[in-house]
Amino acid sequence: NWKMNQSIKSSIDFVKENYNDLLELTKKSSIIICPSFPAIPFVLQEIQKSDLDIGGQTCSPFEQGPYTGQVSASMLSEAGCSFCIVGHSEQRAFLKQNDDDVSLQAEQIFKEKLIPILCIGETLKERNEKKVKKIIEKQLLGICNFLKKTKNTESPICIAYEPVWAIGTGKIASNKEIEEAIEFIDTFLKKYKIKNYALMYGGSINSSNVKKIKKIKKIDGFLIGNASLDFQELKKIVLS
Ligand code: PGA
């Protein structure tokens, strides 16, 4: 997740300069790059023949219409994305997105047959108030109900557990904290008979702490922000 960090030029340079290494990494792991909207077609052009995937960082809860500044899921699909992040805490915080907005966005993503990377997680205040499970449940409920109601429980979805207090702070959740949250998410999804999901962790992942978190058996992958801007760092994370 490059967030609002790379220019279009540095996004292109990143994939161009590290292309062969990126190809090697895709033999080991699925890699989804989420650039800024304007960089998407340029990055895509560079990686067309590879197994790398591209994702949007968010999308509109609406299909189309007079929503200035919004980008629809169908536009992302047309641009060549196969994934889209949804419910990132930075979007929830800055744009005041609530769980209903996030569910509507996810519905648009499913409709376009893109794979949502749904971000969920508690703030420090919520953790201190022992509300972690309650918050996670609230953040999953709308989407699980939608999948159940529309009989889409086989649609692929990635769930990224990202404690808000661990994002971009250098503070990382302990394995026990992550395990508890991941177990809860896993059980919740199973209760809704959601079948095709990947569980991820995000929040201050880097090459020094990733080995420890990889020990958690149910973690399938990572949502990496800051460390993904440095290719050598990203390479070490994938290879550790
Ligand atoms: P970070 O960001 O790795 O910089 O903490 C993670 C994210 O926001 O998804």
The whole-angstrom separation of Cα 144 and Cα 148 is: 6
Q: Give distance in angstroms: CA of 49 to centre of ligand 1.
A: 28
The whole-angstrom separation of Cα 178 and Cα 195 is: 21
Which residues are catalytic, by number?
A: 88, 162
Using alpha carbons, select from 227, 89, 85, 86 the residue that is nearest to residue 165.
89
DSSP secondary structure code for residue 172 in this structure: -
Closest C-alpha residue for ligand 1 atom 1:
225
User: pTM, whole model, 2 decimals?
Assistant: 0.97
Q: Give distance in angstroms: CA of 88 to centre of ligand 1.
A: 9
The whole-angstrom separation of Cα 234 and Cα 165 is: 22
Cβ–Cβ contacts within 10 Å for residue 94, how many? Answer: 9
Token pair recorded at residue 175? 């394995």
The whole-angstrom separation of Cα 47 and Cα 49 is: 6
Is 32 close to ligand 1, i.e. is its CB under 6 Å away? no
Is 170 close to ligand 1, i.e. is its CB under 6 Å away? no
Residue 143 identity (one-letter amino acid) = I
Q: Give distance in angstroms: CA of 202 to centre of ligand 1.
A: 6
pLDDT class for 128, splitting at 50, 70, 90? Answer: very high
pLDDT tens per residue across span 169-209: 999 999 999 999 999 999 999 999 999 999 999 999 999 99
Percent of the chain with pLDDT over 70: 100
DSSP-derived pairing of the beta strands 53-56 and 197-202: unpaired
197-209 core/surface letters (b: 16 or more CB in 10 A; e: else): bebbbbbbbbbee
pLDDT tens per residue across span 49-92: 999 999 999 999 999 999 999 999 999 999 999 999 999 999 99
